[in-house]
Amino acid sequence: MQEDEANRFAADQLIPPGVLADFKDRSTLSSVSILAFAEEIGVHPEIVVGRLQHDGVLGHQHMNVLRERYEFDR
């Protein structure tokens, strides 16, 4: 339970719930709107996509083009 509470606190610090609600109410979810919103609130677009996916607003397969992929040498 404390971990869930800590995760919610961290998510809300990155993107306050009211700000996110306003974005969802006023925007059609597109890569352009997500990029503009991320810049407006000062976070990486990947944070916005991850939050929308986690909250069930976007499917986990949607907008992944805005997420960075990392490759590690082994």
Alpha carbon distances (Å) from 10 to 19, 21, 72, 73: 15, 17, 27, 30
**For each of the chain's 74 residues, which pLDDT tens digit applies?**
888 888 888 888 999 999 999 999 988 899 999 999 999 999 999 999 999 999 999 999 999 888 887 788 87
The answer to whether residues 67 and 50 touch, using CB atoms and an 8 Å cutoff, is yes
Cα–Cα distance, 55 to 33 (Å, whole number)? 18
* Mean pLDDT for the chain overall: 91
Whole-prediction pTM:
0.83
Q: DSSP code of 8?
A: H
Mention every residue, 6+ apart, whose C-beta is less than 8 A from residue 42: none
